[in-house]
Structures are given as C-alpha cells and as structure tokens.
C-alpha cells in the first residue's frame, strides 16, 4: 500500500450557459435549470461505485471542473462535499479547487462555497479584451473578470488562479502582453497561460479563425514569459506559472503520474492497484445517460507497452527534475525497458541524467513532442 501513488478526486459539472467555439471539453449548453440535487446524488453514487479501486487511500486534492461548476447552487456544493467527506478519507489540509466563470461569480455564493470547503478558485478569464472575449464566445466582460479576481482575493482563500489564453484570433504581440499585464495587476498567486489550439469537433475546428503564425507565437511566449518572471511568477509546467508556494497541488499530482478518481459526466480516472496494474475509468459523457445511473462507460487496464509513454507524457510536462525511482514505482516496469529511449533522448540533447534524476533540457522543452515520440510503442 505504501508504494501506491497519491490519490486525487476530479468532479465534473457538465453544464455551461453557452458552449464556447474553441472548447472540446465535455460541456453542454444549459437548457432550463441545473438539476442541482439530482446530479449531486448521482455524483455520490458514482463515487461509491469506484471506491473498491482506491483501496482505502486518502484523497489529497479535489478539483471541481466543467462546464461551469459555479452554476451549481451553494446548497448543492455543500451536499456534494459533505457527501465526499462521508465516503472517503480526505486529507486535513486537502486543496479543494473549483472552476468558475467570471460571469457567474457572486459574492454571497462564493462565501458559501468556501464554507462548504472550497479553498481555491480557478477563474476562466481568457482575455481582458472585449473584442477577443466576444470572439471566444465568452459571456463575461473585462470588468466582471476584474471583479471576480478581487472577490477571490478578498475571501482569504488558500489561493486563486486566473486562466488566460494567448495566440487568439488576430491577436497582436501587444494585445497578448496587455492581457498578461492586466492579469498581473490583479496579483493572482497562480496563472495558467495557455496557447489557443484549434480542436476537431468544435466550431473553430469547422471554421478556423485566422491565428498568429509560429514566429508571432514565439515572440508572444518569449516576451510574456519574461513579463511573468519579472513579476515573481515561476513557470513549473508547460502552461502554468505560480508565486513560490502556490503551485496547484492537484495538477502536480496529474503531471507526476499520481492517481485520481474521476466522477461525473465524461470524467476520466486513473487508479493503480496493489498488484501494479493501472486501471483507467471513463464515465458516460451525456448527462441524460449518466443521470439514468449508467455511470461507467468503459474501464480498461493500461498495457505494459503503453505505460512508458503515459508516464513520460505527464512527467516531462513538469519543469522539475523527475526522480528515476518513480518510473518503476509508478509503472511497475524496470528502467532497463526504457534505457534505449532515454539514451537516445540524452544523445539528442532533450534530456540530462544524473544518479537519481532525469531533467528535460531547454532543447527538450522546445521539442517536447519529439522527446515524447521516442516512448511511443511504435517507436
């Protein structure tokens, strides 16, 4: 038991006021009212069905994502987190994050979320430009984003995050940097700064907008990174920056190849068993099917051939050095099985190695996909 990875819990709330044209997450535009109590009851039953895969482990972090979790009533959030605490051992200092859309942030409700146990809020700002927000299909404006951040700061939460995107349609370097400057002014302890990518099965996927070219994207990243670093933020993952002491523990557990329960529509779980096997769970995507009690869509075991790629795909997104011992601990495989790929990565200048750790080099960060391809089974 001692060698099983740390355990987190992801909870999915599938509804949004409207679907954004770039979003490929499992979210559904709300028709009528959110079925608050009914959905919470199903979430807790879903959790109960997965408990046999946890082997009594303590849950160290919770992340409530969506969709727009802040559409859930404060009473429903209290019932949900009370129900979780009744069913699993929750660490005394557990980080409990909830995603929120600035357009759905209300002071009274957020105080009630905090009383329910939420101690970290992630606010989906995306941009401070009214034109860009409209282009992204967002329902909030810049003022609402600033107000939501000010509210999060005033609540005395453990932390809060602002989500920002760059590489937006027709975005100039100056516009991208201005978004960052405005975010920095709000002094969030954590900033997620993502490049917009066009995903299939989205509105942007079928009608792609004009995006900045690779040279422009590189200038945005380089100057934006400098701006964040000068403001005291430290990049610790490909798209995540934090003030010292404020890294997101839940996401760190993902990137370190920790385990997580996934409950709710379309949620994914990864659960290591005492025999070393890794079980992945995928939940029913559509609320209609999920709320008929058909929670698990699919469960499968990760093959030994797929484990190296899955491990490194997560681990090498982090900028911190990777302990070599954790490869065997978290995959059950001997390091000798990936020795040829590691040696090739070192030869190409993507990785450095010492007696205890692997470290992705500057070259490796720039060519992360090429580094990861070395560990694909076909390779």
CATH, residue 87: 3.20.20.70
Asked if residue 38 is part of any domain, the answer here is yes
User: Taking residues 145-169, what's their average pLDDT?
Assistant: 93
pLDDT exceeds cutoff 80 at 327: yes
pLDDT given for residue 90 in this prediction: 98
The rounded percent of the chain whose pLDDT value lies above 70 is 92
Residues 6+ apart with CB under 8 A from 4: 55, 57, 259, 272, 274
Asked if residue 105 is part of any domain, the answer here is yes
Among 254, 289, 316, the domain boundary falls at 254
pLDDT exceeds cutoff 90 at 102: no
Do 312 and 244 sit in the same domain of this protein? no
Do 36 and 180 sit in the same domain of this protein? yes
- The CATH code of the domain that includes 341 is 1.10.10
Asked if residue 108 is part of any domain, the answer here is yes
Do 36 and 140 sit in the same domain of this protein? yes
The rounded percent of the chain whose pLDDT value lies above 90 is 77
pLDDT given for residue 150 in this prediction: 93
Q: What is the mean pLDDT of the chain?
A: 91
121-130, 180-189, 340-349: segment of lowest average pLDDT: 121-130
Do 29 and 153 sit in the same domain of this protein? yes
**What's the CA gap between 111 and 70, in Å, rounded?**
12
Angle, CA of 204, 149 and 77, to the nearest 5°: 85
- Cα dist. 133→149, 199, 328 in Å? 17, 18, 45
pLDDT given for residue 268 in this prediction: 97
pLDDT band for position 237 (50/70/90)? very high
Do 219 and 312 sit in the same domain of this protein? no
Among 208, 232, 254, the domain boundary falls at 254
**What's the CA gap between 123 and 160, in Å, rounded?**
8
Tokens representing residue 328 in the block: 């065997």
User: Taking residues 140-163, what's their average pLDDT?
Assistant: 92
Helix (H) or strand (E) holding 126: strand 120-126
Do 217 and 331 sit in the same domain of this protein? no
Do 97 and 207 sit in the same domain of this protein? yes
Q: Count of domains in the chain?
A: 2
**Cis-peptide, bond into residue 80, ω within 30° of zero:** no
User: Taking residues 222-233, what's their average pLDDT?
Assistant: 97
pLDDT band for position 301 (50/70/90)? very high
Tokens 């002014």 belong to which residue? Answer: 185
pLDDT band for position 379 (50/70/90)? very low
pLDDT given for residue 160 in this prediction: 97
Asked if residue 284 is part of any domain, the answer here is no
Do 65 and 213 sit in the same domain of this protein? yes
Asked if residue 228 is part of any domain, the answer here is yes
pLDDT exceeds cutoff 70 at 208: yes
Q: What is the pLDDT of residues 15-70, one digit of tens each?
A: 877 656 555 566 767 777 889 999 999 999 999 999 999 999 999 999 999 888 98
- Cα dist. 87→36, 42, 43, 46, 372 in Å? 20, 14, 12, 11, 38
pLDDT given for residue 239 in this prediction: 93
**What's the CA gap between 323 and 326, in Å, rounded?**
6
Do 240 and 325 sit in the same domain of this protein? no
Asked if residue 298 is part of any domain, the answer here is no
**Do residues 47 and 267 make contact, with C-beta atoms less than 8 angstroms apart?**
no
pLDDT exceeds cutoff 50 at 1: no
Asked if residue 378 is part of any domain, the answer here is no
Write out the residue range of the structural domain in which residue 369 sits.
Answer: 308-373
- Cα dist. 358→241, 320, 371 in Å? 21, 9, 13
Asked if residue 21 is part of any domain, the answer here is yes
**What's the CA gap between 379 and 376, in Å, rounded?**
5
Do 330 and 187 sit in the same domain of this protein? no
Do 19 and 148 sit in the same domain of this protein? yes
Do 60 and 202 sit in the same domain of this protein? yes
pLDDT exceeds cutoff 80 at 202: no
Which residues, in sequence order, are bridge partners of residue 294? none
């Amino acid at each position: 038991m001692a060698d099983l990875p740390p355990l987190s819990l992801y909870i999915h709330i599938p509804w949004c006021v409207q679907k954004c044209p770039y979003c490929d997450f499992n979210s559904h535009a709300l028709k009528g009212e959110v079925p608050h109590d009914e959905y919470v009851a199903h979430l807790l039953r879903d959790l109960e069905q997965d408990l046999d895969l946890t082997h009594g482990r303590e849950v160290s972090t919770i992340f409530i994502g969506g969709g727009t979790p802040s559409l859930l009533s404060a009473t429903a959030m209290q019932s949900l987190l009370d129900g979780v605490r009744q069913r699993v051992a929750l660490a005394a200092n557990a980080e409990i994050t909830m995603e929120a859309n600035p357009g759905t942030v209300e002071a009274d409700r957020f105080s009630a979320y905090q009383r329910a146990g939420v101690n970290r809020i992630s606010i989906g700002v995306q941009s401070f430009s009214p034109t860009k927000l409209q282009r992204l299909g967002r329902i909030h404006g810049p003022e609402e984003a600033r107000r939501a951040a000010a509210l999060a700061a005033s609540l005395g939460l453990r932390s809060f995050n602002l989500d920002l995107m760059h590489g937006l349609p027709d975005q100039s370097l100056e516009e991208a940097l201005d978004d960052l400057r405005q975010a920095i002014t709000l002094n969030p302890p954590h900033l997620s700064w993502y490049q917009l990518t066009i995903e299939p099965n989205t509105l942007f996927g079928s009608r792609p907008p004009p995006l900045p070219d690779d040279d422009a994207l590189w200038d945005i990243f380089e100057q934006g990174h400098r701006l964040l670093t000068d403001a005291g933020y430290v990049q610790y993952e490909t798209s995540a920056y934090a003030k010292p002491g404020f890294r997101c523990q839940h996401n760190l557990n993902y990137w370190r190849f920790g385990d997580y329960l996934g409950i709710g529509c379309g949620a994914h779980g990864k659960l290591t068993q005492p025999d070393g096997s890794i079980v992945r769970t995928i939940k029913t995507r559509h609320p209609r099917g999920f709320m008929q009690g058909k929670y698990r869509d699919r469960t499968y075991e990760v093959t030994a051939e797929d484990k190296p790629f899955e491990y490194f795909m997560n681990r090498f997104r982090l900028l911190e050095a990777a302990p070599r011992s954790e490869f065997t601990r978290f995959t059950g495989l001997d390091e000798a099985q990936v020795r040829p790929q590691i040696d090739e990565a070192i030869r190409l200048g993507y990785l450095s190695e010492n007696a205890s750790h692997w470290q992705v080099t500057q070259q490796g960060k720039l060519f992360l996909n090429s580094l990861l391809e070395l560990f694909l089974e076909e390779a």
